[in-house]
Amino acid sequence: MIADAARRALEALLGERVRFDAPVGRHTSLGVGGAADAIATPESIAEVEALVALCAEQRIPLHVLGGGFNTLVRDAGVDGVVLRTQRLRQLEVDADSVLNAQAGVSHSQVTRLTLERGLAGLEFGAGIPGSVGGWVAMNAGIPGRETGDRVLEIEVATPRGGLQRIGRAGLRFVYRGVQGLPAGSVVVAARFQLEPSTREAVRAEVERHLAHRRDTQPIDQPSFGSVFKNPPGERAGQLIELAGLKGLRCGGAEISSVHANFIVNVGAARAADALELMRRAQAAVRAQRGIELEPEVRIVGRCEA
C-alpha cells in the first residue's frame, strides 16, 4: 500500500501517467496476474530519473516492466510502483554505425531501422521479443550471440537522483544478466556498436532468425519464455521434454507442446497455474537428472496468503 503523501507526490510528478490499483497482467505476454499499487508510465528519461529518486526517498518498491515477455506477475498483485518503459522510444543511428536506443524501443523497431540502414550485429534480436531495456538487463540472446556483445555504453537512472553512464569496461555481461549496475538503478538507454553491411544481407539474417522462431516457439499463443535458464551443457526445454512434461496442463496454463521451455495461456490461466507448472518441471528434472532448473522468467508480486 502506498501512503497518501507518496500518492500525491506520484500524481504531482506524472499526472494521468500514474494509475493506482491498476491491473498489471494485461501488460505481460502471458496475460495473467493481479493489480499493482501503482503503474507509472513516464514519457521521458527525465521523468524516469525523478520517479526512481522519488520511490527511493519514499521507500516505495519499484519494479520495471518493458515488453513483459519474461515477467510473471503473481495473482495477488504487486506492492509498490510498476514502471513501464513503453514511452521511451527514441532511436537513432550516428555516423559511426552506433545505434542509440532508449529502454522502451521494441525489437521490431530495432529490426526495421537496421534493415533500412543495412547495419549488422543485432539481427538475432529479431527472434527475441521485448524492448531494449530488458535486452540489456537480461543480456538477452541466442546460442553464441548476446546483447552484451554489442553494448558500448548504457545509461541508468539511480536512486540518488540523476543519470549515470557506464561504459563497457564498467560492465560484466553474464548469462542472462549484467553486473556493474548501481543497486536500484533503472536502464533508460543503451548504445550498440553495429557494422555497415547491405540491406539484403541483413534481411536474409533477420528472416533466418524469424523462421527459426516460427518453427520452434509458440508465437501464435499468449506465452512467456524461456521459462528456465539452460543449465551448463544442457537445454532446459529438452530436459523438461525428456521428463515427459511437454503439453502438461494446469488450469489454463500449459507447458508448450511446441517448445517445453515456454508456458502458454490456453484460456483463463492464472499465475498460480504457471507457477505450479514451473514447480512440477523443476521437480521432474531434479528427480530424473539431479539438475536444478533456475528460473529465467522474472517473478514479481505478493506471495499468496
- Name the grid cell of 51: 520517479
Angstrom distance (rounded) from CA 80 to CA 101 = 27
Angstrom distance (rounded) from CA 200 to CA 285 = 43
Catalytically active residues are: 176, 226, 296
DSSP code per residue over 231-300: PTTS-HHHHHHHTT-TT-EETTEEE-SS-TT-EEE-SS--HHHHHHHHHHHHHHHHHHH---PPB-SEEE
- Name the grid cell of 16: 494521468
Nearest to residue 244, comparing CAs of 284, 212, 184? Answer: 284
For β-strands 71-73 and 298-300, DSSP reports them as parallel
Peptide linkage before 226 cis (omega within 30 of 0): yes
- Name the grid cell of 196: 555497415
